[in-house]
C-alpha cells in the first residue's frame, strides 16, 4: 500500500524536475545573448549535467561560440544563480 502513496509523489517530482530544467534554460538564454554577443534565436541551450537540489551545468551554443554555465536554483527553478564556468572564447581542450 505504501507504493500507491509514493507513486504520485515520484511522478510529481519528475514533473517538477522537467519543468525546472526548462525554466533554468530560459533564464540562461538572456545571459548567453550577452556573453556570446549573439541573437536569442541563434542560441541553443542544453543541459550538460543535472544535479540534485537545484544544481546543474548547462551549455549555450550560438554564433560559432559556446559557453558553459553552472547554476544553483530554488526548488521550483524560479530563481537561479548563474555563473560562467567556461568563457565563450576559451580554447577548446585538447585530448
DSSP track, 75-89: TTSSSEEEEEEE-TT
Sign of CA dihedral 48, 66, 89, 94: positive
In this predicted model, what pLDDT tens digit does every residue of 3-21 receive, in sequence order? 666 655 444 444 444 446 7
Which grid cell sits at 47? Answer: 543541459
d(Cα 4, Cα 64) in Å, to the nearest integer?
A: 49
Please tell me which residue, 30 or 4, carries the higher pLDDT value: 30
**Mean pLDDT value of segment 74-87:** 82
Please give the residue that has the higher pLDDT: either 8 or 65.
Answer: 65
Amino acid at each position: 500500500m505504501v507504493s500507491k502513496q509514493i507513486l504520485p509523489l515520484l511522478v510529481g517530482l519528475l514533473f517538477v524536475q522537467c519543468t525546472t530544467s526548462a525554466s533554468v534554460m530560459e533564464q540562461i538564454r538572456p545571459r548567453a545573448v550577452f556573453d556570446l554577443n549573439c541573437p536569442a534565436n541563434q542560441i541553443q541551450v542544453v543541459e550538460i549535467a543535472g544535479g540534485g537540489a537545484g544544481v546543474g551545468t548547462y551549455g549555450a551554443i550560438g554564433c560559432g561560440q559556446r559557453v558553459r554555465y553552472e547554476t544553483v536554483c530554488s526548488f521550483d527553478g524560479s530563481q537561479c544563480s548563474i555563473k560562467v564556468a567556461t568563457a565563450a572564447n576559451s580554447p577548446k581542450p585538447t585530448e
